[in-house]
Amino acid sequence: MTAEHQRGLAELAAQGRLRQLVPRTGLDFSSNDYLGLAESPELRAAVAAAIERGVPVGSGGSRLLRGNHREHEILEAEAASYFGSEAALFFASGFMANFAIFSTLPQRGDLVVHDALIHASAHDGMRNGRATCVAARHNDAGDFEAAITRWREGGGRGRPWIAVESLYSMDGDIAPVDDLAEIARRHDGMLVIDEAHATGVLGADGRGLAAHLEGAENVISLHTCGKALGAAGGLVCASRTLCNFLVNRGRAFVFSTAPPPLQAATVRAALSLCRHAPERRERLARLVAHAGRELNQCCGLAASGTHIMPVIVGEEMRSMDLAAALQARGFDVRGVRPPTVPAGTSRLRISLTLNVDEADVSDLVRALGAELSGRAS
């Protein structure tokens, strides 16, 4: 290790921001496995069946070489049908899918107006793209439109792109997708909706919060497969032209080894469960409602109303200390601090999944209330 790297790590440690990998322990209140599919018997059986019928464990190359497999193509067709888009393209991760969208599709002379709290993968894609990029205030549709208007008045002649998450990963709040879709329509713009934390959970049949917008020529959606779907990968749903453009110009697609065909088969099984097993979504909705009531009654806190429930603490070390205290009590709750969230908004990110039940949630909230009030019980 170089001296520069050692100094960099020492600086992070001095700031209390040195990241480390730790084993998973305690009840799951931190994962994105919202429907409890990752370790489900249904997906285990689907994997075993896929192996039995000869689906390869590895792809052996990029999709444009020998890595393309029938399982990829069947998944993309089924995903397009399920989500309601003209076409779909499968990536090895949601991060790479987002990176590909923003580094490839907006062109020189275009403007990307993105929500200030959008995923890091979108930021990385924009930094590697050719369009001008500006941030809009979080969930403020008027600020998105104002940014486009200022750009046009300043001589902007390309196409505006609006980029948002439908459900925000650290705040658990929902984007005004209908207002943003109308702004995109008025300005002949594109709307990119990252459904990562809504896919499988929210919207008709778990198709996401913007399911009613899918299929429009100016709408692109990203559906992550490693969260509620319990598998891995990312699906870009868009027009066939845009998907073909990504196949030809998306460096994150062209130069990446294809996702394992076995992974594609697993995602297909997860989509089938979402389509045909609504009881998982219904159970999670009941758990969210229960958690909201408990959080309000025990801690006097308002819940987000979704399966992502932040408890804003503010001060960094207090957030991390609270997380450590809850972990010591057997609850896997993580503290989140800058640069992942804005300064002064360090928090506990409580994630609700079907890996716990209502009794577990009640126990967690009581423990949280005790820690917040300073009780040692």
Per-residue model confidence (pLDDT) at position 18: 85
State the Cα–Cα distance between residues 23 and 5, nearest whole angstrom. 25
**For the chain, how far is it from start to end, CA to CA, in angstroms?**
45
Would residue 169 show up in a list of annotated catalytic residues for this protein? yes
Q: Which residues pair with 174 in a beta bridge?
A: 167
Identified catalytic residue from 194, 214, 316, 332? 194
Instruction: Check if 138 is active-site.
Output: no
Active site residue 227: yes
Instruction: Tell me how many degrees the CA angle 243-58-275 measures, rounded to the nearest 5.
Output: 55
Annotation says 166 is catalytic: no
SS (H, E, C) the chain: CCHHHHHHHHHHHHCCCCCCCCCCCCEECCCCCCCCCCCCHHHHHHHHHHHHCCCCCCCCCEHHHHHCCHHHHHHHHHHHHHHCCCEEEEECCHHHHHHHHHHHCCCCCCEEEEECCCCHHHHHHHHCCCCEEEEECCCCHHHHHHHHHHHHHCCCCCCEEEEEECECCCCCCECCHHHHHHHHHHCCCEEEEECCCCCCCCCHHHCCCCHHHCCCCCEEEEEECCCCCCCCCEEEEECHHHHHHHHHHCHHHHCCECCCHHHHHHHHHHHHHHHHCCHHHHHHHHHHHHHHHHHHHHHCCCCCCCCEEEEEEECHHHHHHHHHHHHHCCEECEEECCCCCCCCCEEEEEECCCCCCHHHHHHHHHHHHHHHHCCCC
Instruction: Give 331-355 pLDDT, tens digit per residue.
Output: 999 999 988 899 999 999 999 999 9
Q: If you search the block for the tokens 């000869």, which residue do you land on?
A: 54
Amino acid making up residue 304: S
- Active-site residue, from 59, 85, 169, 304: 169
**How much is the pLDDT for 22?**
84
CA–CA gap between residue 274 and residue 145 (Å, rounded) = 35
Query: The pTM is what?
Result: 0.94
Give yes or no: 248 in active site: no
Annotated active-site residue in 71, 115, 145, 165: 165
The confidence score (pLDDT) of residue 377 equals 46
Catalytic (active site) residue 296 = no
Q: Which of 114, 119, 187, 307 is flagged as catalytic?
A: 119
How many Cα atoms occupy the beta-carbon half-sphere of 194 within 13 Å? 29
Residues 222, 191 contacting (CB under 8 angstroms): no
Clarify whether 124 is annotated catalytic: no
Catalytic residue among 59, 227, 332, 371: 227
Q: Are 71 and 49 in contact (CB under 8 A)?
A: no
Domains plus CATH for the chain? 41-276 (3.40.640.10), 278-371 (3.90.1150.10)
Please tell me which residue in 28, 30, 32, 76 is annotated as part of the active site: 32
Contacts of 79 (CB under 8 A, 6+ apart): 85, 88, 90, 223, 235, 237, 267, 271
Q: How far, rounded to the nearest angstrom, does the alpha carbon of residue 331 sit from its chain's CA centroid?
A: 23
Query: Which pLDDT value is given to residue 1?
Result: 63
Per-residue pLDDT of 33-77, as tens digits, reads 999 999 999 999 999 999 999 999 999 999 999 999 999 999 999
Among 69, 114, 197, 307, the one annotated catalytic: 197
The residues of the chain scoring below 70 in pLDDT are 1, 375-377
